[in-house]
Structure 1
Amino acid sequence: MEDAENHEELLAKQHRKEKKDLQGQIQSMKNAVPKNDKKRRKQLLEDITRLEAELSQKHEEELRQLANSPVTAEVEQVVNGIESIGLDKEEQNDGKQSRSSKAQKRREKKVAMEKEREARIAEAEVENLQGSRHQEGLKLRQKLAERRLQIREIQSDGHCMYRAIDDQLATRGQGVGLKELRTQTAKYMRCHADDFLPFLTNTNTGDMFTADEFEKYCSDVEDTAAWGGQLELRALTEALQLPIEIFQADAPLITIGDEHKKPPVVLVYMRHAFGLGEHYNSVEALKELANEEEG
């Protein structure tokens, strides 16, 4: 039990030291590249992203190994109640019970509870690093870094796609608000029904939407928190006359409306961001290098 705790503490200290050492290495790399050398700064950004990803993967593997080690298994035995602790242990040793004070029992119970908490934290950390959300975020971070971008978090409330687009427009001084974007989307779809009806079917019958069903669909787009997808993006790219680029972790960059020769709106599509499922985020300039250039 003590060995498990010592192993966890030593690994945590090692990870902190390695992260600190990497930050020192990164700072030295930055100092060696002139700020006005854009080509080398771009390569620097890619190298930094690669080093951070490699260290993250190394730590992930070490945590997995710790979770599967015999020492950790002993901790899990405590968590699952396989070993008797606290009052149960005292009941098995009647000869020692008279020598155990209530204070000692409370201390033993507190220690056992702390061991359980630490084991659960270690398990959760391993699960998070192995989980889909972490892996998706890591891949997206690498892709965005190549464009000197990072994710800007958008509220998850059913309006995320529209909020992300409006966030992008606002950075250009063209923000119009959530309601206006939904109105423009619905209006374009109504005016070009033939472009959208073939892709909308009744889930019960499999038949293409009737006129009434299509109108209800458009009304939901305009007046509710209905989640936006490919059809709504197509409508918006035409309504705004702007291309829309969408980054995904496990798919190539998608561009909708690339016939519009203007700077694109850039979104990040995430499958595993929240328990409820899919989500859109906005992007912003990579802060670390942006701050350096301002300096």
Structure 2
Amino acid sequence: MEEAESPEELLLKQQRKEKKDLQAKIQSMKNAVPKNDKKRRKQLMEDIMKLEAELNQKHEDERKQLNGSLAGDKVEILANGVQALVLEGEEGQVTKQGPPRTSKAQKRRDKKAALEKEREIRIAEAEVENLTGLRHLEGQKLSWLLAEKHLQIREIPSDGHCLYRAVEDQLGSRGLSMNLEELRAQTAQYMRKHADEFLPFLTNPNTGDMYTAEEFEKYCSEVADTAAWGGQLELRALTQVLQIPIEVIQADSPAIMIGEELNTAPITLVYMRHAYGLGEHYNSVEPLKEVPVEDEG
């Protein structure tokens, strides 16, 4: 027979639903404000933070009220329990037994509720931190910069291949087909053939000396055959392999154009310093989608 849910579990379930409903409301609010409307977007973020803070305070008050209520109930139950356990012995003597022990099932429920409460608090703190953190601010700036070009970010997985996956995605939007493995292999091949263009920028981190031929070959092998992260050197090689310039948009610096000497329209990537815990990341872009405006009333 399934155990009935405790008051703590019922409250947590209700609060999780309210948080989910709030997130849906926030998403709806975001959709209703154009990404290139800086003034309204700023007011939107303030409204969102206020709503989240109010809900967090409401949930905290509810938890305190529940804990106080349960404490009062326990006193009453214990008092009644002692009275009920005042028994008359065979010779008219009164014997007292202590309060009933908490069952193992109740202990498990209490532990589960405490862990869930701690988890909910950590999630709430992370959400508030994200609203004011570097990642959020960087994403907001990039959204504004891209909106001016009628573009938006197209998310690319953070797996070490992000540069090549972003380029692959951009090529696909032009009807060109070159997969991740081909891009890596041809980048490494170009770098090997033009070592004099790349060696001056590669130094041994321990000695500060320019890479030896063996070290450079190992570097190129990692470009071709591993999930080694790509940067400026690989971007330069890719522009020559593809014969297409690559524009890189970033939040805190002007956009850079690599391979601008090539006479063709560039592909566009987004460089993010704070996207993930591991650090730098590349995303692709796509045309800015029409923002749905919800009917009022």
What is the SS of the residue equivalent to 1:247? Answer: strand
Q: What amino acid sits opposite 1:230 in the alignment?
A: Q
- Give the CA deviation at 1:59: 2.5
Q: Which has the larger radius of gyration?
A: 2
TM-score, length of structure 2 as denominator length: 0.69
Under a length normalisation based on structure 1, what TM-score does the superposition of the two structures give? 0.70
Gapped runs of 5+ residues in structure 2? 1-11, 84-98, 293-297
Q: What residue identity is the alignment partner of 1:251?
A: S
**CA–CA distance in structure 2, aligned partners of residues 135 and 189 of structure 1:** 36
How many aligned positions are there?
Answer: 262
Equivalent-residue separation in structure 2 for 1:257 and 1:145 (angstroms): 24
Residue 261 (str. 1) matches residue 263 (str. 2): yes
Runs of 4+ in 1 over 3 A off after TM superposition: 9-23, 61-67, 71-76, 83-87, 93-103, 105-121
Residues 197-252 of structure 1: CA deviation (Å, up to 9, x unaligned): 11101111111011111111111111211110001001111221111111112221
- Is the Cα–Cα contact under 8 Å of residues 273 and 280 in structure 2 kept in the other structure? yes
1:196 maps to 198
List per-residue Cα deviations over 1:114-173 (Å, max 9, x = no partner). Answer: 765554443232122122222221121111111111111112221110111011011111
Question: Are 1:55 and 2:44 counterparts?
Answer: yes
Three-state SS of the structure 2 residue aligned to 1:127 is helix
**Do the aligned partners of 2:249 and 2:271 also contact (CA within 8 Å) in 1?**
yes
Q: Considering fraction of residues, name the structure with more helix.
A: 1
List aligned pairs for 1:40-51, cutoff 5 A.
Answer: 46-47=36-37, 50-51=39-40
The answer to whether residue 163 in structure 2 is matched with residue 147 in structure 1 is no
Give the conservation status (yes or no) of the 8 Å contact 1:60–1:130. Answer: no
Alpha-carbon distance in 1 for matches of 2:20, 2:226: 47
Aligned to 1:273: 275
Give ranges in structure 1 of 5+ residues lacking alignment: 27-43, 291-295
1:160 — aligned with what? 162
Q: Structure 2: how far apart are the matches of 1:232 and 1:116?
A: 44
Q: Partner residue of 1:228?
A: 230
Does the 8 Å contact 2:26/2:48 carry over to 1? no
8 Å CA contact retained: 2:29, 2:44? no
Corresponding residue of 2:8: none
Relative to structure 1, the CA distance from residue 73 to residue 120 in structure 2 (aligned partners, 3 Å threshold; closer, same or farther) is: farther
Q: State the identity %.
A: 53
**RMSD (Å), alpha carbons:** 4.4
